[in-house]
Amino acid sequence: MEKVLIIIGDASETLDTMYPYYRLQEAGFQPVVAAPEKRRYQMVMHEVKPGWTITKEWEGYTIEADIAFADIDETQYLGIMFSGGRAPEYIREDPDLIRITQYFFAEGKPIASVCHGVEIPARAGCVKGRRMATVAKCQFDLEVCGGIYVNEPCVVDGNLISGRTFHDNGHYLGPWIKLLEDARAAKQG
């Protein structure tokens, strides 16, 4: 079974993480949760509450990381997914995560990103000239690194598929799963 990385940390968004986790299983892939350390992580739920101008955060489920970034041999994975939430703000500086991210972009492997997940490939120097969706408050993070912000529920730019928030899960994850299925079929010959 082909393995696919899901990148998380504490305060990863619950739906940004769990929906792709189960969709990968449904499509016959092995999701591998990767984080700074191999341990249990606290996810959160994010929503702009009616009447608020900022995001409200609640505790979500917890999830066990299968592998630490430092232990990843990126050549063993078919694709990668960058989950949103607040985690990308602090994990994006991890040198192993930067190495892994750059590999997937350089190799043209299937990549998905949602919400704040954009902060990781932006920090890794991988978004220049690439069209991406992200939550509006991360538009600056994308554009300052040379990316092109697109306010749509699914943006396809070659091997890179992105959505704005978990509200777009039903739009962008299907095309990413299709890329993974095509990559699996090509690998099997």
Please tell me the distance from the alpha carbon of residue 52 to that of residue 80, in angstroms, as a whole number: 33
User: Is residue 144 within a helix (H) or strand (E), and if so which, with residue range?
Assistant: helix 139-144
Q: List the beta bridge partners of residue 55.
A: 48
pLDDT score at 52: 80
Query: Closest Cα partner for 111 from 163, 150, 41, 147?
Result: 163
CA-to-CA separations, 19 to 22, 47, 130, in angstroms, rounded: 6, 16, 25
Average pLDDT, the chain: 96
> 20-40: per-residue pLDDT in tens?
999 999 999 999 999 999 999
Question: pTM of the entire structure?
Answer: 0.96
Domains of the chain, start order: 3-188 (3.40.50.880)
| pLDDT, tens digit, 9 for 90 and up, residues 144-173 | 999 999 999 999 999 999 999 999 999 999
Q: Which residues contact 184 (CB under 8 A, 6 or more apart)?
A: 2, 29, 78
